[in-house]
A and B are shown apart, each in its own frame.
Chain A
């Protein structure tokens, strides 16, 4: 069974600084997807970034980028130029993309990020 581990329950960063959130996972699959979602306080889950395991190039979305190390089963999220609006719970999630099958997301416990002014 797949598992996702986020080893940092809480982190903080100063506004405009850079922070990296870690995520490791365990799977025997070769092809899969990894996601980072953010959940601001009392607001809905929002997709931050997505990575396909077959792609060697790390995904980037504006200030958000990942460091995907497939052999190490590591998928960290880097947030550059942190903004107050980045304050949220960040979840790492794993998906097996088998055609026609349940593609439920398997989630880590989350990392609570506080961006301080």
Chain B
């Protein structure tokens, strides 16, 4: 088990471009979360999946953001028409729900800079 992985680790893009991030969870984990973390802040919840179903999206997630988790395995987070305010660290976490108990394990994050 290699833990949660995220790619790319860093992304620099120009305003208006689209970007896509990937998260590979721990293999048996059925839940996957996306968070966003800006400098000096704690992470903020964006969205989560149970298996392949996206069950909740934060109000932070505008229509420019979309996430998928086909077949309940890896997940992608796409940002269309990026804005400078999208610059942040995007964190992915996975967990296994066992008898209502759950601990989230995080990937290294993707740091996005929008110029």
B-contacting residues of A (Cβ < 8 Å)? 4, 33, 35, 37, 43-47, 50, 52, 91, 93, 95, 97-99, 102-110
Determine the distance from Cα of A104 to Cα of B100 in the docked complex, in whole angstroms.
13
Q: List 27 A-B contacts (CB under 8 A).
A: A4-B42, A37-B106, A43-B108, A44-B108, A44-B109, A45-B43, A47-B104, A47-B105, A52-B101, A91-B42, A95-B102, A97-B102, A98-B100, A99-B100, A102-B48, A102-B56, A103-B95, A103-B97, A103-B104, A104-B33, A104-B45, A105-B43, A105-B104, A107-B42, A108-B42, A110-B41, A110-B42
Contacts of A109 in B (CB 8 A): 40-42
What's the least CB distance linking A89 to chain B, in Å? 9
| Count of B interface residues, CB-CB < 8 Å | 26
A-contacting residues of B (Cβ < 8 Å)? 31, 33, 35, 40-45, 48, 55-56, 91, 93, 95, 97, 100-109
Which chain B residue has the least Cβ–Cβ distance from A106?
B45
What's the least CB distance linking B45 to chain A, in Å? 4
What's the least CB distance linking B92 to chain A, in Å? 10
What's the least CB distance linking B53 to chain A, in Å? 11
Contacts of B43 in A (CB 8 A): 45, 91, 105, 107
Which chain A residue has the least Cβ–Cβ distance from B105?
A47
Determine the distance from Cα of A95 to Cα of B97 in the docked complex, in whole angstroms.
13
Which chain B residue has the least Cβ–Cβ distance from A107?
B42
